[in-house]
């Protein structure tokens, strides 16, 4: 690392270091916060349709209003600036920008995002923009959705239009957020939009989401060569539940179908043999070249998908023990040391360090960004008007320390984005799960920074001041 590094806040691990210019941020996604689904010329997306079908989300919650960020974005950015958060990862709603998924961009949508991105700049906040965080325009779903190859082309066209209209307003662009969830939670598990339960559709969607990434990267390279572009994958840490051969194989299988299916094509230019072994039955081939190619992976696809990007985005939430499953071949998994988090996920920061080291050693020397990491708790406003989310502070302290330790060990990590800036519509879990650093009282849309928001802002300020406190005498400067 050529730039000077700073040590961390006294509450972080003493080994943690962060390079100068490290991006400290928070993240959100359009459908989870914007609301205003029928305003500004926005068209329906698969999440509008899905959340309005009965039984798909908790209590029938929808993103119709969500955090009403569409109308409150200025106050939200003011709050972010007040809290001292310098970087903001947000997503663009495809159906707000291009309501039917084809044709010219909607000027009102463009104006909204121009104002939002200019509003970030005006407050000294650096935006990191995601082109696709799961909200496919419904007309494209009606035309086959992600299982149809032409959807990837539509996305490439959309990316080109966005590059032209908004590309000058941000330096960092994330093409696709978590193709794993979009493909499998949406098409195989049926728990996210569009809600199908068909492995074949999921595998097709997976490949086309990767192809869409490749086409969007190419569109940006052509129109905005100065932009820094990458894809964000969700990467869980997996270990066998026991030393048995069966559990080892189950872990390998789960890794092949949840992690490697997205990492290998992007960073190694081919699907792993273990992934092809699992999904060859649905037409997946290693490269699409030569004999044995089918209609899914076509010649040239992997060259597009693996064209060098500028960074690798990593979302990390889960640490699992995997055990061999029953006759269906489906592995069983459980979270390591489940916590009081309202999802029962783990608070095991070493898992994030392992994931970062794995990506750096097995996949890419590109800079890594932790584009999401966070915890959902049973947060409430106490009688003093405070939200004392001490478990979230504990979580952040641990995971941020793990990132800093990975950096100290030589991994090139350039940023960390806490999920999420504020509580929001947590997909099928509706408003039941609160991941925010800022509490949202949905009935009044009041924002109340939780203790963690103040902690995070303070930690960032200490970093940026180059404070290098002796662990027993906080306040000494470097
Ligand atoms: C990730 C999603 C994000 C949010 C968090 C909790 O998988 O990208 O939108 O739902 O999980």
| pLDDT tens-digit series, residues 50-93 | 999 999 999 999 999 999 999 999 999 999 999 999 999 999 99
Question: Residue 470 pLDDT more than 60?
Answer: no
pLDDT tens, residue by residue, 371-392: 999 999 999 999 999 999 999 9
> Which of 427, 433, 436, when mutated, tests ligand 1's pocket best, judged by the most ligand atoms within 8 Å of its CB?
427
132 lines ligand 1 (CB under 6 A): no
| pLDDT bracket for residue 7 (50, 70, 90) | low
CA of 302 relative to ligand 1 center, distance in Å = 27
The per-residue pLDDT of the chain, averaged, comes to 94
CA of 234 relative to ligand 1 center, distance in Å = 9
| pLDDT bracket for residue 476 (50, 70, 90) | very low
Share of the chain above pLDDT 70, in %: 94
CA of 167 relative to ligand 1 center, distance in Å = 25
Task: Look up residue 262 and give its two tokens.
Answer: 């997205």
Q: For the chain, how big is the Rg over CA atoms in Å?
A: 21
CA of 224 relative to ligand 1 center, distance in Å = 28
194: three-class secondary structure by DSSP: coil
The closest residue, in CA terms, to atom 4 on ligand 1 is 426
Return d(Cα 474, Cα 465) in angstroms, integer: 13
Per-residue pLDDT, 473 = 36
Return d(Cα 255, Cα 375) in angstroms, integer: 23
Question: Residue 469 pLDDT more than 50?
Answer: no
| pLDDT bracket for residue 5 (50, 70, 90) | low
Question: Residue 471 pLDDT more than 80?
Answer: no
> Which of 57, 426, 429, when mutated, tests ligand 1's pocket best, judged by the most ligand atoms within 8 Å of its CB?
426
The residues facing 338 across adjacent strands are 346
Task: Look up residue 268 and give its two tokens.
Answer: 């190694």
Return d(Cα 388, Cα 392) in angstroms, integer: 9
- 398 backbone dihedrals φ, ψ, rounded to 5°: -70, -50
Distance of CA 284 to the CA centre of its chain: 25
Per-residue pLDDT, 332 = 84
Q: What is the dihedral of CA 269, 274, 277, 281, to 10 degrees?
A: -60
Q: Where are the alpha helices (DSSP H) in 224-367?
A: 245-255, 261-268, 273-279, 301-305, 350-358
429 lines ligand 1 (CB under 6 A): no
Question: Residue 478 pLDDT more than 60?
Answer: no
455 lines ligand 1 (CB under 6 A): no
Per-residue pLDDT, 291 = 60
Helix (H) or strand (E) holding 312: strand 312-315
372 lines ligand 1 (CB under 6 A): yes
With residues binned 3-state (H G I as helix, E B as strand, rest as coil), the percentages for the chain, rounded to 5, are 40, 20, 40
CA of 242 relative to ligand 1 center, distance in Å = 29
pLDDT tens, residue by residue, 187-215: 999 999 999 999 999 999 999 999 999 99
234 lines ligand 1 (CB under 6 A): yes
178 lines ligand 1 (CB under 6 A): yes
Instruction: Give the CA distances from residue 133 to residues 93, 178, 271, 423, 441, in Å, rounded to whole numbers and listed in that order.
Output: 8, 8, 23, 17, 24
- Nearest ligand 1 atom to the CA of 181 is 7
Return d(Cα 369, Cα 374) in angstroms, integer: 14
Task: Look up residue 375 and give its two tokens.
Answer: 């915890």
- Nearest ligand 1 atom to the CA of 374 is 6
The closest residue, in CA terms, to atom 10 on ligand 1 is 426
Task: Look up residue 88 and give its two tokens.
Answer: 């903001």
CA of 91 relative to ligand 1 center, distance in Å = 12
Q: Which residues are catalytic?
A: 178, 372
Per-residue pLDDT, 4 = 54
98 lines ligand 1 (CB under 6 A): no
Task: Please report, for the chain, how many H helices and E strands are present, in that order.
Answer: 17, 15
Q: Is the pTM of this model over 0.85?
A: yes
Return d(Cα 55, Cα 414) in angstroms, integer: 41
CA of 301 relative to ligand 1 center, distance in Å = 27
Judge whether 84 and 457 are in contact, CB under 8 Å: yes
Task: Look up residue 55 and give its two tokens.
Answer: 């039984």
**DSSP assignment of 16-55:** -EEETT-EEEEE--HHHH---TTSTTPPPBHHHHHHTSTT
Selection from 68, 108, 117, 110 nearest residue 89 by Cα: 117
- Nearest ligand 1 atom to the CA of 234 is 7
> Which of 372, 423, 436, when mutated, tests ligand 1's pocket best, judged by the most ligand atoms within 8 Å of its CB?
372
Helix (H) or strand (E) holding 368: strand 368-372
Return d(Cα 13, Cα 399) in angstroms, integer: 10
pLDDT tens, residue by residue, 92-149: 999 999 999 999 999 999 999 999 999 999 999 999 999 999 999 999 999 999 999 9
CA of 327 relative to ligand 1 center, distance in Å = 31
435 lines ligand 1 (CB under 6 A): yes
180 lines ligand 1 (CB under 6 A): no
Lowest mean pLDDT among 170-179, 320-329, 404-413, 428-437: 320-329
Domain extents in the chain = 23-463
Instruction: Give the CA distances from residue 396 to residues 10, 13, 373, 374, 378, in Å, rounded to whole numbers and listed in that order.
Output: 14, 12, 9, 7, 16
Question: Residue 419 pLDDT more than 90?
Answer: yes
The residues facing 315 across adjacent strands are 234, 372
177 lines ligand 1 (CB under 6 A): yes
pLDDT tens, residue by residue, 309-346: 999 999 999 999 999 986 555 678 889 988 877 788 99
Per-residue pLDDT, 327 = 57
| 330: DSSP letter | P
Task: Look up residue 425 and give its two tokens.
Answer: 């519509």
- Nearest ligand 1 atom to the CA of 32 is 9
Return d(Cα 368, Cα 312) in angstroms, integer: 5
**DSSP assignment of 427-443:** GGGGGG-B--SEEEETT
Selection from 228, 169, 221 nearest residue 368 by Cα: 228
Task: Look up residue 27 and give its two tokens.
Answer: 């993240």
Question: Residue 292 pLDDT more than 90?
Answer: no
Return d(Cα 126, Cα 129) in angstroms, integer: 10
426 lines ligand 1 (CB under 6 A): yes
pLDDT tens, residue by residue, 220-240: 999 999 999 999 999 999 999
Task: Look up residue 464 and give its two tokens.
Answer: 């940026």
CA of 48 relative to ligand 1 center, distance in Å = 17
By CB neighbour count within 10 A (0-12 exposed, 13-18 middle, 19+ buried), where does 357 fall? Answer: middle
94 lines ligand 1 (CB under 6 A): no
Half-sphere exposure of 21 (CA within 13 A, CB side): 8
Per-residue pLDDT, 477 = 33
Distance of CA 463 to the CA centre of its chain: 24
pLDDT tens, residue by residue, 9-40: 788 999 999 999 999 999 999 999 999 999 99
174 lines ligand 1 (CB under 6 A): no
Selection from 98, 124, 115, 118 nearest residue 41 by Cα: 98
Per-residue pLDDT, 344 = 87
* Strands 413-419 vs 368-372: parallel, antiparallel or unpaired: parallel
Share of the chain above pLDDT 90, in %: 88
CATH (residue range 23-463): 3.20.20.80
């Amino acid at each position: 690392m050529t730039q000077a590094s700073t040590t961390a806040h006294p509450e972080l691990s003493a080994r943690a270091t962060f390079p100068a210019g490290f991006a400290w941020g928070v993240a959100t996604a359009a459908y989870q916060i914007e609301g205003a689904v029928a305003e500004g010329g926005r068209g329906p997306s698969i999440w509008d349709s899905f959340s309005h079908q009965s039984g798909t989300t908790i209590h029938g919650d929808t993103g119709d209003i969500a955090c009403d960020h569409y109308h409150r974005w200025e106050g939200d950015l003011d709050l972010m600036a007040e809290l001292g958060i310098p970087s903001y990862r947000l997503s663009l709603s495809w159906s707000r920008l291009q309501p039917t998924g084809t044709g010219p961009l909607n000027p009102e949508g463009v104006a909204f995002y121009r104002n939002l991105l200019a509003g970030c700049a005006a407050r000294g906040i650096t935006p990191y923009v995601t082109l696709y965080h799961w909200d496919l325009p419904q007309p494209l779903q009606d035309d086959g959705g992600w299982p149809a190859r032409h959807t990837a082309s539509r996305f490439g066209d959309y990316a080109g239009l966005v590059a032209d209209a908004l590309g000058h307003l941000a330096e960092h662009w994330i093409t696709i957020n978590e193709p794993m969830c979009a493909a499998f939670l949406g098409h195989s598990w049926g728990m996210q939009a569009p809600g199908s339960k068909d492995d074949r559709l999921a595998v097709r969607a997976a490949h086309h989401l990767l192809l869409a990434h490749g086409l969007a990267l190419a569109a940006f390279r052509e129109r905005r060569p100065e932009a820094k572009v990458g894809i964000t994958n969700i990467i869980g840490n997996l270990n066998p539940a026991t030393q048995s051969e069966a559990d080892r194989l189950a872990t390998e299988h789960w890794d092949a179908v949840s992690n490697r299916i997205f990492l290998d094509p992007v960073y190694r230019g081919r699907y792993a043999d273990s992934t092809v072994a699992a999904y060859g039955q649905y037409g997946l081939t290693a490269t699409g070249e030569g004999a044995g190619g089918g209609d899914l992976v076509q010649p040239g696809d992997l060259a597009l998908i693996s064209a060098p990007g500028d960074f690798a985005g990593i979302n990390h939430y889960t640490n699992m023990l995997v055990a061999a499953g029953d006759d269906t071949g489906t592995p069983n998994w459980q979270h390591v040391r489940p916590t009081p988090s309202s999802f029962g996920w783990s608070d095991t920061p070493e898992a994030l360090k392992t994931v970062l080291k794995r990506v750096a050693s097995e996949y890419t020397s590109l800079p890594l960004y932790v584009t999401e990491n966070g915890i959902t708790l049973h947060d409430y406003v106490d009688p003093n008007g405070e939200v004392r989310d001490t478990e979230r502070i504990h979580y952040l302290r641990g995971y941020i320390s793990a990132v800093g330790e990975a950096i100290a060990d030589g991994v090139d990590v350039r940023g960390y984005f806490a999920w999420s800036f504020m509580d929001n519509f947590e997909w099928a879990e509706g408003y039941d799960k609160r991941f925010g650093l800022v509490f949202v009282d949905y009935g009044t849309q009041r924002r109340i920074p939780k203790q963690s928001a103040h902690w995070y802002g303070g930690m960032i300020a200490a970093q940026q001041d180059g404070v290098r406190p002796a662990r027993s005498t906080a306040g000494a400067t470097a």
